[in-house]
Amino acid sequence: MEVRYFAATDIGRKRAANEDNFLVDHDLHLFVVADGMGGHASGEIASALAVHAVRDVIHRERDLLAAYDDEDPRSHVEVCTLLEYAVHCAGERIHERAQKEPEKRGMGTTIVVLLLIGARGFIAYVGDSRIYLVRGGIVYQLTEDHSLKNELIRLGKIRADEFEESPYAGLKNAMTRAVGVYPMVEVDTLDFDIIPGDAFLLCSDGLYEYLDDNDIGRTLALPEIREVPGRLVELANTRGGKDNITAVAVQIAGEASDHDRASEINFTLDRLKGVPLFRQLSYQQLVRIMNIARSRTVDVGQAIFREGDEGNELHVLLRGSVELSRGGVRIAELPAGTHLGEMALIDASPHTVTATASTPSKVLGIARHDFYEILRKEPALAVKLLWSFVRVLAERLRATTAELTHARAPELEADESTDPAEDPFSP
C-alpha cells in the first residue's frame, strides 16, 4: 500500500502564537493533529506533549502492530485499544506536567490520530479537531466533535443553523472533552476498510470552520499531495484566519479499478441506511454497524433461514430477491433493499417463515450477540438504536391493528345489520 502525505501548520492572522501541533511517522503510517488550549503558552506545550506521547506509546508497542491480522476481528480490537491507551498516556503526561507547574493547570488539547495498517484504518479522537475521508468523490466526516455546540445539536436542543443567534453562541468553542485537563478522558475510536484511492484530511478547527465539503473534496483530489495542505491553509487565511490552522493530507495510491470496491462499500452503507432501525445513524455509526456485519452470497433455492429455526440475526438483502413461504406455501417475494428478522435482535424466537433466495443474492447478517455488544460499548449509538426500535415496533403494531380491523370489517358490518327482532339478546 503506497501512502503519500504532506502537512502544514500556520499561526493564522489573529493569534500571537501557534498552539497547534502535528506529527507524522512514516514507518508506522501514523498521523496526529492536536490543538492545544490554556494560557501562558500552555496550549502549545499540551499539544506537543500529546502528539509525542501518542507516537512513543505506539512505537513501543510496534510488535503488536507487526502481529496484526487483517482477517481477525480481535486484532482490530487490539489496535483500537492501543490507540485509546496511547491517548490516555498523553493525557496523564499533560496533567502531571500541569500539576508540577501551577501556571499551566487546566491546560489541555484536542487530538485526532490516524493509523494505517494492513488494509484497515484506525482512528482515535478527543475534542473538536477532525478527520475527513474522501472516497469516490464523496466527503465523510469520520469524527464527531466533543463540543458543547455539537452536544446541543445532537440532543435536539438546537438546530445547527440557529446556534449563532442562540444564547449559547458565546460558548461555541467550549469542549465537553479534552486531553490532559483531567487525569482521564473518554476516547472514541473507529476502524474501517482502507481502499486505494482514499484520501484523508486531519485538521484543527481553525481550518475546517472556513471550508465546506466541496473545498475539501476538490483540494484533496489534487494530483500533487504537496500542494494540498498549503492550498487549504491559504483558503482558511483568505477567509478570516482567526485561529491557528493545521492540515495533514494523506492519499492512498490506487487505480481506477479500485473504484469498484469503494462503490461496493458505499452501496452497503446506503442499504444499511435504508433499514428503519439504522435510518437515524451518522456515517461513523453506520461504519460501526457494518464492522459487526457479515456478508454472504446465497444461490437460487438456498435458504437464508428456515421456518422453526431459532432467530439470531437481522438480515439485510443487499442484492437479489427472496421468497418467503410458510408450510411450503409461497406468501411473499422481497426485493433487494429490504430486511428480515429484526426481532431476532431482541430474542431467540423461532422463525415463522422460510426465506429462500429466488435469484442469486447477497445478504448482510448482524448477529444478536454482536448487536448487544455494540449497545453496551456505545451509549450514544444505543440510544438511537433503541429509539428507532421502539418506532419500528410502533409502526408494526399500527399496521397489525389496521389489518385486524380490516379483516373483521365484514363481521362488524353483519353485526350492525342484524334485525333487533331476530336478535335474541336484544332488549
What's the CATH code of the domain at 294? 2.60.120.10
Residues 220 and 320 in one domain: no
Please give the mean pLDDT across all residues of the chain: 89
Confidence category of residue 373, pLDDT binned at 50, 70, 90:
confident
Residues 140 and 41 in one domain: yes
Number of domains in the chain: 2
Question: Is there a domain that residue 16 lies in?
Answer: yes
Tell which of 254, 287, 319 closes a domain. 254
Residues 226 and 278 in one domain: no
Question: Is there a domain that residue 419 lies in?
Answer: no
pLDDT tens figures, 213-261: 999 999 999 989 999 999 999 999 999 999 999 999 999 986 645 667 7
Q: What is the DSSP string of 140-194?
A: EE-S---BHHHHHHHTTSS-GGGGGGSTTGGGTT-BS--BSSSS----EEEEEE-
Whether the pLDDT of residue 92 is over 80: the answer is: yes
Q: Phi and psi at residue 280, in whole multiples of 5°?
A: -95, 5
* CB 191, CB 122: distance < 8 Å: yes
Question: Is there a domain that residue 68 lies in?
Answer: yes
> How high is the pLDDT of residue 345?
84
Residues 250 and 373 in one domain: no
pLDDT tens figures, 121-170: 999 999 999 999 999 888 999 999 998 888 787 777 777 777 777 777 77
Domain that holds residue 340: 262-377
Whether the pLDDT of residue 173 is over 90: the answer is: no
How much of the chain, in percent, has pLDDT values that exceed 90?
60
Confidence category of residue 366, pLDDT binned at 50, 70, 90:
very high
Whether the pLDDT of residue 197 is over 80: the answer is: yes
Residues 185 and 117 in one domain: yes
Average pLDDT over residues 389-399: 79
pTM across the whole model? 0.82
Provide CB contacts within 8 A for 25, sequence distance 6+. 31, 55, 58, 59
CATH code, domain carrying 9: 3.60.40.10
Residues 247 and 358 in one domain: no
Question: Is there a domain that residue 401 lies in?
Answer: no
Question: Is there a domain that residue 250 lies in?
Answer: yes
